[in-house]
Chain A
Amino acid sequence: MNKYDIVIIGGGPAGLAAAVSAKKAGNDNILILERDHELGGILNQCIHNGFGLHTFKEELTGPEYAGRFIKEAKELGIPYKLNTMVMDISKDRVVTAMNREEGMFEIQAGAVILCMGCRERPRGALNIPGYRPAGIFSAGTAQRLVNLEGYMPGREVVILGSGDIGLIMARRMTLEGAKVKVVAELLPYSGGLKRNIVQCLNDYDIPLKLSHTVVDIEGKEHITAVTIAEVGPDRRPVPGTEERYTCDTLLLSCGLIPENELSRAAGIEISGITSGPIVNESLETSIPGIFACGNVLHVHDLVDFVSEEAERAGKNAVKFVQGLLSHEHGGEISLKAEGGVRYTVPSTISPARMEDTLTVRFRVADVFKDHYVSVYFGNDRVQHRKRQIMAPGEMEQIVLKKDDITKLPGLESITVRLEKE
Chain B
Amino acid sequence: MVYDVIIIGAGVSGSAVARELSRYKLNVCVLEKGEDVCSGTSKANSAIVHAGFDAAEGSLMAKLNVEGNEMMGDLAKDLDIPFKRNGSLVVCIHKEELGGLQELYDRGIKNGVKELRIIGKEELLKMEPNLSDNVEGALYAPTGGIICPFMLNIAMAENANVNGVDFRFNTKAEKLTRDEEGIWHIRTNNGEYLTKYVVNAAGVYSDYFHNMVSKDKIHITPRRGDYCLLDKEMGSFVSHTIFPQPTKLGKGVLVSPTIHGNLIVGPTAIDIEDKEATATTQAGIDDLMTKAGMHVKNLPIGRKVITSFAGLRAHEDHHEFVIGEVKDAPNFIDCAGIESPGLTSSPAIGRMVAGIIRDLAKPEEKENWIGTRKGILNPANLSLEERNDLIKKNPAYGQIICRCESISEGEILDAIHRPLGARSLDAVKRRTRAGMGRCQAGFCSPRVMEILHRELGLSMEELRKNDSASYIVFERTKEV
Contact = CB atoms under 8 A, between A and B. Distances in A.
B390 to A, nearest CB: 8
Contacts of A102: 398
A144 B443 CA distance: 10
B128 to A, nearest CB: 24
Contacts of A216: 279
A256 B398 CA distance: 28
B477 A176 contact: yes
Contacts of B445: 141
Contacts of B460: 149, 151
A64 interface: no
B399 interface: yes
Contact of B384 (A35, A104, A131, A137): A104
Interface string A115-140: 00001101111010111111101101
Contacts of B399: 83, 85, 99-100
Contact of B400 (A85, A152, A215, A237): A85
Interface string A31-61: 0000100000000000000000000000000
A130 B474 contact: no
Interface in B199-240: 228-229
Nearest to A178: B474
Contact of A124 (B284, B305, B392, B400): B305
Chain B interface SS verdict (over half): mixed
B188 interface: no
A100 B398 contact: yes
A124 B308 contact: yes
Contacts of A98: 391, 398, 400
B388 to A, nearest CB: 4
B102 interface: no
Contacts of A129: 279-282, 284-285, 308
A143 B475 CA distance: 14
B134 interface: no
B1 interface: no
Contacts of A3: none
A273 B15 CA distance: 48
Contact of A145 (B279, B308, B468, B473): B473
Contact of A151 (B278, B465, B475): B475
A220 interface: yes
A127 B305 contact: yes
Contacts of B443: 119, 141
A365 to B, nearest CB: 17
Contacts, number: 141
Nearest to B453: A149
A278 to B, nearest CB: 18
Given A99-B399, A129-B279, A123 B466 contact: no
Interface string A230-262: 000000010000000000100000000000010
A104 B466 contact: no
A134 B396 contact: no
| B interface, size bucket | 35 or more
A237 B282 CA distance: 10
Interface string A138-165: 1011001110111111110000000000
Contacts of B395: 100-101
A353 interface: no
A221 interface: yes
B442 A122 contact: yes
B360 to A, nearest CB: 37
A361 interface: no
Contact of A134 (B229, B406, B440, B471): B471
B132 interface: no
A145 B474 contact: no
A103 interface: yes
Contacts of A176: 477-478
A152 B440 contact: no
A217 interface: yes
A342 interface: no
Nearest to B302: A127
Interface of A: 35, 83, 85, 87, 98-104, 119-120, 122-125, 127, 129-135, 137-138, 140-141, 144-146, 148-155, 176-177, 215-218, 220-222, 237, 248, 261
Interface of B: 228-229, 276, 278-282, 284-285, 302, 305-309, 384, 387-388, 391-392, 395-396, 398-400, 403-404, 406, 438-443, 445-446, 450, 460-461, 464-478
14 contacts: A101-B395, A120-B442, A125-B438, A131-B278, A131-B279, A135-B472, A141-B446, A148-B446, A151-B474, A151-B477, A153-B474, A176-B477, A220-B278, A221-B467
Given A100-B399, A141-B443, A151-B460, 6 more contacts: A87-B406, A125-B305, A129-B308, A141-B445, A148-B446, A154-B474
